[in-house]
Amino acid sequence: MKQMNSAGEFNVSIQSSNLIVAVFKADWCGDCKYIDPFMPEVEEKYSDRLTLIEVDVDKVGDVSQEQNILGIPSFVAYADGRELVRFVNKLRKTREEIEDFLNKALDVYHTLHDTAERKE
């Protein structure tokens, strides 16, 4: 997962026309550490359909405030600089819940993308 080191880098990343999913987390977060072992497999599974980026809320704090991230880990899907859908709560997230969210994000992305293509 590519790590975002600045607000500028984050903002450039989410401008992509492809689906970008930002994972907001921190080193001290126990629930973030819980997902670390399986996230590389999840990223590999979805690598041909979306890009996961990591945002450390302590290192790139302005971004988490601007994005209204109140709990971590949080997952927010973007395309063309717009937020599409988010998975934000204070509860620990399982691999199944994360994959369900990624599938939902893909559905929203494809629905919006297909609608935009039909309008052109």
- DSSP-based three-state secondary structure for 37: coil
The pTM of this model reads 0.92
Per the CB < 8 A criterion, the answer to whether 51 and 109 are in contact is no
CA atoms within 13 A of residue 103's CA, in its CB half-sphere: 6
Q: For position 97, what pLDDT does the model report?
A: 96
CA 8 to chain centre: 16
- Strand ordering across the sheet containing 51-56: 2-4, 51-56, 20-25, 74-79, 82-87
Domain boundaries along the sequence of the chain: 2-117
Q: What is the mean pLDDT of the chain?
A: 92
Q: For position 120, what pLDDT does the model report?
A: 54
Q: Tens of pLDDT along 26-84?
A: 999 999 999 999 999 999 999 999 999 999 999 987 899 899 998 899 999 999 999 99
Fold of 2-117: Glutaredoxin (3.40.30)
Q: For position 90, what pLDDT does the model report?
A: 72
- DSSP-based three-state secondary structure for 91: coil
Token pair in block for residue 7: 């607000």
Instruction: Answer whether residue 7 shows pLDDT above 70.
Output: yes
Alpha-carbon gap, residue 83 to 45, rounded angstroms: 22
CA 87 to chain centre: 9
Q: For position 88, what pLDDT does the model report?
A: 86
Per the CB < 8 A criterion, the answer to whether 14 and 81 are in contact is yes
